[in-house]
Amino acid sequence: MKTILVIGNGMVGYKFCEKLMTKTNGVNYKVIVFGEEPRPAYDRVHLSEYFSDQDAERLSMAPRSWYEENNIELITNERVTDIHRASKTITTISDKEYTYDYLVLATGSSAFVPPIPGIEKKGVFVYRTIEDLDATMSYVEEIKKNKSDGKAAILGGGLLGLEAGKAIIDMGLETSVVEFAPRLMPRQLDNDASKVLQRKLEGIGLDVLLSKGTQNIEGGDAITGMRFSEDEVLPVDMLLVSAGIRPRDELAKTCGLDVGTRGGIVVSNDMRTSDENVFAIGECALLNHMIYGLVAPGYDMAGVAVDQILGGDSLMPTSIDMSTKLKLSGIDVASFGDALNEAKESESIVYENKFQGIYKKINVSKDGKKLLGGILVGDASDYNMLHQIFLNGMKIPENPEDLILGARGGESASFGSALDLPDSAVVCSCEAVTKGAICCKVNDEGMTTLKEVAGATKATTGCGGCKPMVTDLINESLKAQGVTVKETICEHFDYSRQELYDIVKLKGIKTYAKLLSTHGKGKLGCETCKPVAASLFASIYADTGNDHNVIQDSNDKFLANIQRNGTYSVVPRVAGGEITPEQLIVLGQIGKKYDLYTKITGGARIDFFGAELHELPLIWKDLIDAGFESGHAYGKSLRTVKSCVGSTWCRYGMDESVSFAIEIENRYKGLRSPHKIKGGVSGCIRECAEARGKDFGIIAVEGGWNLYIGGNGGATPRHAELLAEKITNEEVIRYVDRFLMYYIKTAGPLVRTAAWLDKIEGGIEHVKDVVINDSLGLCDQLDKDMAGLVNAYKCEWKEAIENINEQNNRFAHFVNSEESDDTIEFVALRDQKMPKLWA
């Protein structure tokens, strides 16, 4: 029996053991694993999640019992000090000696700490292990006990640094990220993408300082600040260093193995070092003159080392894919291929939406036939398919911009089903799982769930970035078999939105905590299911944005739309667009009083821009005192019902569209739904209110009203479809009631009425049968549900200012000060103002 010693029990060291056991079942090899840390291997990729729940077990790759069951001797809290290659032995810090036939170095890396004077002071931490995080959290609590305005800094604007910054903010300290480079994530993002990411991070309260070289750590025994060039000082009480990694190659150096001039154990493509009996894998290995800091290449290295030890001929490729997708502080960020066009072989196509904080760039070969790389910030939903097109050299559309814009501006990229990928396409790079292997589990072995497929193939168990595509492959394969597929909200709830709606309503659940504890999984939930739950409570109980505000999206939390410079817009309701001269004067006075940029919206309302957070309740009070109320411009709810002047004034008008629009808007105001809703009422077929471009549109014709539904469509413009024609005012309201309630009950999260109508089986004819012919026997319940919501309406602004003492911190820039934000800057624009453009 041959002995294999593995030095290092991180993710890659564990993966070596797992792959070895899979191929040998533990026969003919004795395996001993050494780990410096006190616990078995854990998931360092998701280390920042430990800040939230301090649950080390949840991060564990495998319990100690797994090692025992596989006859692997795991020795933790024990550092190997020497390798004796001549005798094939190693020595540990406790002077124990072990003999090997094969030695695998999986020592990983350590946090790089720049040699800054004072870096050793109290209050300076690194971000690498669970113990590092424990020490950091303990120090944060110490700061908060001693002062109310504690400040922290993160040294490094890469992935881990930005994750750490968000975590420290959540702990209650004002936090700055200090980056030496002129942009965030400089290895993954270009300048424009970095600016978009920076704006989004600043929007959640993270201060970003770029092009800053730290000269000194200020303070006596403990840190008090960071000194930059030209005597600029940033006062801080704590510093978390996340400035990169250094390969752990000290054992290799002392035993005479070849190492790179800048560190790393030199290996060939078979993962052997300069000693054929010694392998190096993971972040300690220097392969192709590079250190690979991603988990997927490390897992591939582990597989090659296992195969070589067992007599195989597997080799690492000379070109290794460094593509990556992550959710950074709740913000999607992804890059793939030659993202920065370093090879100068491509032309770039860029889409940027500054209002939504979205940046997409693809690099296409100069002949327009191949996708060579790309960057996605703010919306990375298309990453998996784009990545596969790049990896497999798949054909791209004749108009390559369709890949990020959709066919002529659609909401999703213009590529087919995940089933169109070749079977050889590697979907899960961490575990090298192909599309064919996943589909085989569904089609040949009868698996139907992500959990089953993941358990059998290990797909999604690494970084998790492939989860959407694996889910799509499973669902598409099942649909191809004629199996109905249920779409669940997220990993915390095994229910669709419709099912969760029924659970909340039938069981009378009124809080997110109870919903999660009784019908969900996990302790905290996520940013996907929390707003969905808030929407359900509003759609069922008419709860307002003031209820459950900790689980709302930011706009609903503050009852206003956040703008690109951190200020907010305020839109009072002007039902049907009708407004008196007195009301116009009041709006002008309020706009002048608070120095707000003022604009008439496309929905015939007046929008005030530039309100600071602490000003919102003051502005609302002035508006409410003048007879206005919330226009819900911030919510997934009814926005406006636009109207023309109708028969009141227009010589072509066939009915009184303004009065009807006002009646309808006042009926549905405050109604919460899966996505925002807009309506329109036109007094004749000339359509001045553009009613057929709305979620519901009403047009006067000879003999009554024609009612249309499912228009708008957002980024994919869509005309509404005729639901009923020549009907009375009462029938219009009855059918709109039922249509909206049926949509609210059955649509998925953030699905517009247009997309819902496209996807619902039977389309417009089915909806007609439900809301007019009562084919499902639901009409009485739909009528009752809508009446309950209409009768329960409350103005959220009025509710908020009446409880301002209880909710004061919600509308303050700082939790410990009444000061306003003095960093907001404006410039002149046509006798008004606008946010100062970013550099």
C-alpha 812/C-alpha 829 separation (Å) is 28
Which two three-digit tokens encode residue 251?
């054992």
638 pLDDT higher than 90: yes
* Domains and their CATH numbers in the chain: 2-109+247-309 (3.50.50.60), 124-243 (3.50.50.60), 418-484 (1.10.10.1100), 497-557 (no CATH), 645-801 (3.30.413.10)
Residues making up the chain, counted from first to last: 839
Q: Distance (Å, rounded) from C-alpha 594 to C-alpha 371?
A: 50
Is the pLDDT at 565 greater than 90, yes or no?
A: no
Residue 410, Ramachandran bin (φ over 0: left; ψ between -120 and 50: alpha; else beta):
beta
Question: Residue 30 is inside which H or E element, if any?
Answer: strand 29-35
User: Which residue stretches of 7-118 are H helix?
Assistant: 11-24, 50-53, 56-59, 64-69
User: Using N-to-C axis directions, what is the helix angle for 191-203 and 159-170, rounded to 10°?
Assistant: 10
Per DSSP, the three-state class of 736 is helix
CA distance 779 to 737: 10
**What pLDDT is attached to residue 329?**
64
What is the structure's pLDDT at 431? Answer: 85
Percent of the chain with pLDDT over 70: 96
| Contact status, residue 308 vs residue 326, Cβ threshold 8 Å | no
Higher pLDDT, residue 727 or 409: 727
Of 548, 833, 808, which Cα lies nearest the Cα of 672?
548
Which pair of structure tokens corresponds to residue 42? 């854990």
Task: Check if the beta carbon of residue 43 is closer than 8 Å to that of residue 463.
Answer: no
Long-range pairs, 621-627, Cβ under 8 A, ≥24: 621/801, 622/590, 622/593, 623/570, 623/572, 623/586, 623/590, 623/797, 624/795, 624/797, 624/798, 624/801, 626/583, 626/586, 626/590, 627/583
Q: What is the pLDDT of residue 410?
A: 41
* CA–CA–CA angle 586, 606, 578 (5° rounding): 80
Cα end-to-end distance, the chain, whole Å: 65
Are the C-beta atoms of 762 and 752 separated by less than 8 Å? Answer: no
SS3 annotation, 757-813: HHHCCCHHHHHHHHHCCCCCCCHHHHHHHHHHHHHCCCCHHHHHHHCCCCCHHHHCC
- Alpha-carbon 148 to chain mean position: 31
Pick the more confident residue, 358 or 238: 238
* Confidence at residue 726, expressed as pLDDT on a 0 to 100 scale: 95
pLDDT tens digit sequence for 272-301: 999 999 999 999 999 999 999 888 899 999
Retrieve residue 351's tokens: 């889409």
Tell me: the pLDDT tens digits for 474-509? 988 988 888 877 778 888 898 889 999 999 999 999
Q: Are 225 and 235 in contact (CB under 8 A)?
A: yes
Q: Quickly tell me which residue has 């030199």 as its tokens.
A: 266
Give residue 415's pLDDT. 60
* Nearest by Cα to 253 from 242, 261, 244: 261
Contact 826, 834 (CB under 8 A): yes
Q: Assign 684 to helix, strand or coil.
A: coil
Q: How far apart are CA 149 and CA 819, in angstroms?
A: 13
Give the best-scoring range by mean pLDDT among 170-179, 249-258, 460-469.
249-258
| Mean model confidence pLDDT for the chain | 89
Q: Assess contact for 491 and 526: CB atoms under 8 A.
A: yes
The per-residue pLDDT for range 181-237, each reduced to its tens digit, is 999 998 889 999 999 999 888 888 899 999 999 999 999 999 999 999 878 999 999
- The answer to whether the beta carbons of residues 237 and 248 sit under 8 Å apart is no
Distance in angstroms (rounded) separating the CA atoms of residues 725 and 707: 6
**What was the pLDDT predicted at 324?**
83
**Beta strands 216-218; 225-227: pairing state:** antiparallel
pLDDT one-digit tens code per residue, 649-699: 898 889 999 999 999 999 999 999 999 999 999 999 999 999 999 999 999
The share of the chain scoring above pLDDT 90, in percent, equals 60
- The encoded tokens of residue 140 equal 């944060």
What pTM, to 2 d.p., does this model score?
0.62
Q: Which two tokens stand for residue 377?
A: 């910030």
| Span 375-389, average pLDDT | 88
In one-letter notation, the amino acid at residue 122 is K
* Residues β-bridged to residue 245: 111
Beta bridge partners of 374: 336, 362
pLDDT beyond 70 at 721:
yes
Residue 607 half-sphere exposure toward CB, CA atoms < 13 A: 19
Which value, to the nearest 10 degrees, does the dihedral of the CA atoms of residues 606, 610, 614, 617 take? 0
How many Å apart are CA 197 and CA 330, to the nearest integer?
11
Q: Give the contacts of 676 (CB within 8 A, at least 6 positions apart).
A: 635, 636, 637, 638, 639
Q: What is the pLDDT of residue 671?
A: 94
Mark 165-191 as b/e (b = at least 16 C-beta within 10 Å): bbbbbebbbbbbbbbeeebbbbebbbe
Closest CA to 223 of 233, 213, 235: 235
- Locate tokens 């060579």: which residue? 372
The confidence band for 412, taking pLDDT boundaries of 50, 70 and 90, is very low
Q: Which of 502, 654, 514, 659 is nearest to 575 (CA)?
A: 659
Give the number of other CB atoms < 10 A from CB of residue 711.
Answer: 25
More confident residue, 342 or 104: 104
Q: How confident is the model at residue 402 (pLDDT cuts 50, 70, 90)?
A: confident
Centroid of chain to Cα 235? 31
- 64, pLDDT greater than 80: yes
- Burial level of 827, CB count in 10 A (0-12/13-18/19+)? exposed
Contact 498, 746 (CB under 8 A): yes
Residue of 123, 92, 90, 116 whose CA lies nearest to 3: 90
Q: Which residues of 286-303 are buried (b: 16+ CB within 10 A; e: fewer)?
A: bbeeebbbbbbbbbbbbb
Q: Phi/psi of residue 147, each to 5°?
A: -155, 150
Distance separating alpha carbons of residues 92 and 815, to the nearest angstrom: 50
- Please give the pLDDT value at position 409: 38
Encoding tokens for residue 41?
Answer: 């291997």
Q: What is the pLDDT of residues 783-803, one digit of tens each?
A: 999 999 999 999 999 998 888
Taking the C-alpha atoms of residue 702 and residue 734, their distance in angstroms, rounded to an integer, is: 20
Please state the three-class secondary structure of 586-623 as a single string: HHHHHHHHCCCEEEECCCCCEEEEEECHHHHHHHHHHH
